[in-house]
């Protein structure tokens, strides 16, 4: 079986491996603890392949996790829906792009590290917000730090063309991801639902009052 891990695992593995060797000769109880931490690090940084449903009319989940909040707000002249996905330490922590388009803006905002399940975390916590342009619509995806998460990583650049379902970043050790989209997209999920990044369809847009049924998929 083929296993893939995020490149951020490298530094953690080196440190933990050296500690495992050191405490093997010095103190066996700590050796066992660091063996467990080493195994958990492999588990945390796992990067499984996903089967991505493709289409401009759908938004796929940017993250694995539990939907904790769904709210509506106004951005300029448009009404938007916000879906908040909470990632526990047991979820895959790699983020994926909800739709193909162009990165118009990347905003990093310093902030607090309160519980990411609280709705006010969207405004108070440290976060990184992408503005993704798709036709006349802006789609916003925000990586939010939490109580444990202290490092947000994003590999994208402004004006970069991106593809639906591609990996774009990671938040270390618990966190939250918000996706915000115009209310012209019909919501396909509910609070309390578990999402799979790149696979779960968060919302679907109706074009010319016709629901597009046929769809292509890619495995990445």
- Residue 175 falls in the annotated catalytic set: yes
Q: Provide the 8-state DSSP code for 46.
A: B
Catalytic-labelled residue, pool 175, 184, 186, 214: 175
Gyration radius of the chain's alpha carbons: 19
In whole angstroms, give the CA distance from residue 178 to residue 143.
7
Quote the CA–CA distance of 182 and 75 in Å, as a whole number.
9
Q: What is the side-by-side order of every strand in the sheet holding 137-144?
A: 161-162, 101-109, 127-134, 137-144, 175-182, 78-87, 65-75, 194-195
- Return d(Cα 148, Cα 191) in angstroms, integer: 23
Question: Which residues are designated catalytic?
Answer: 175
């Amino acid at each position: 079986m083929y296993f893939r891990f995020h490149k951020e695992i490298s530094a953690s593995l080196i440190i933990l491996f050296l500690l495992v060797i050191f405490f093997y000769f010095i103190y066996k109880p700590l050796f066992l603890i660091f063996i467990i931490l080493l195994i958990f690090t492999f588990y945390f940084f796992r990067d499984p392949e996903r089967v991505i449903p493709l289409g401009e009319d759908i938004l796929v989940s940017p993250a694995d996790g539990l939907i904790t909040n769904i709210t509506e707000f106004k951005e300029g002249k448009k009404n938007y829906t916000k879906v908040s996905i909470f990632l526990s330490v047991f979820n895959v922590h790699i983020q994926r792009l909800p739709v193909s388009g162009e990165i118009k803006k990347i905003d990093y905002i310093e902030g607090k590290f309160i519980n990411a399940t609280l709705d006010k975390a969207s405004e108070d916590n440290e976060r990184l917000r992408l503005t993704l342009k798709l036709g006349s619509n802006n789609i916003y995806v925000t990586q939010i730090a939490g109580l444990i998460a202290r490092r947000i990583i994003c590999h994208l650049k402004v004006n970069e063309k991106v593809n639906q379902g591609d990996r774009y970043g990671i938040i270390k050790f618990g966190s939250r991801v918000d996706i915000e989209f115009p209310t012209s997209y019909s919501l396909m999920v509910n609070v309390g639902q578990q999402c799979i990044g790149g696979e779960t369809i968060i919302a679907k847009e109706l074009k010319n009052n016709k629901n597009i049924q046929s769809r292509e998929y890619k495995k990445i």
